[in-house]
Amino acid sequence: MQDGLYEIVMLQRYTAIFLLCLLIGPSYSQNISHEFVAKGIEAFYMADFEESIRILQNVVLNEPLGDEEQFYSYLFIGFSHIRLGSDNATVRLYFQQAVNVMPDKELDPLKIPPDLYDAFMSVKKSMLGTIVINSEPPGADVMLLEPMSSKINREVTPAIFPNLLEKSYQVLVTQNGYDTFSAQVDVRAGVSDTLNVILFEKEKSFFAKYWPYGAGALAATAAILVLTAGSGGENPPKPATTLPNPPARP
Write out pLDDT tens, residues 173-212: 999 999 999 999 999 999 999 999 999 998 765 544 544 4
- Mapping DSSP to helix (H, G, I), strand (E, B) and coil, where does residue 141 land? strand
Question: Distance from CA of residue 229 to its chain's centroid?
Answer: 68
Average pLDDT over residues 225-235: 48
- Residues 30-42 have pLDDT tens digits of 455 578 899 999 9
CATH 2.60.40.10 domain locations along the chain: 128-198
As a whole number, mean pLDDT of residues 57-72 equals 92
With beta carbons less than 8 A apart as the criterion, state whether 70 and 60 touch: yes
How confident is the model at residue 151, as a pLDDT?
81
Homologous superfamily of the 128-198 domain (CATH): Immunoglobulins (2.60.40.10)
pLDDT value for 146: 85
The predicted pLDDT at position 241 comes to 54
Hey, is 51 helix, strand or coil? Answer: helix
Average pLDDT over residues 70-94: 96
Percent of residues in the chain assigned helix, strand, coil, to nearest 5:
50, 20, 30
* pLDDT of res. 134: 96
Q: What is the pLDDT of residue 15?
A: 47
Query: Contact 173/140 with Cβ under 8 angstroms?
Result: yes
Residue 121: the pLDDT is: 96
Residue 150's identity, in one-letter code, is S
Nearest Cα to Cα of residue 173 among 163, 183, 188: 183
Taking the C-alpha atoms of residue 235 and residue 138, their distance in angstroms, rounded to an integer, is 65
Q: Of the ranges 49-53, 85-89, 115-119, 216-220, which one carries the lowest mean pLDDT score?
A: 216-220
Dump pLDDT digits (tens) for 106-163.
998 888 999 999 999 999 999 999 999 999 999 999 999 987 777 889 999 999 999 9
> In the prediction, which pLDDT does 33 show?
54
In this prediction, residue 90 carries a pLDDT of 96
Please classify residue 219 by burial: count the beta carbons closer than 10 Å to its beta carbon, then call 0-12 exposed, 13-18 middle and 19+ buried.
exposed
The pLDDT value given to residue 99: 96
What is the C-alpha to C-alpha distance for residues 69 and 108, in angstroms, rounded to an integer? 17
* pLDDT for the residue 63: 83
Q: Is the peptide bond before 158 cis (omega within 30 degrees of 0)?
A: yes
pLDDT at 244: 57
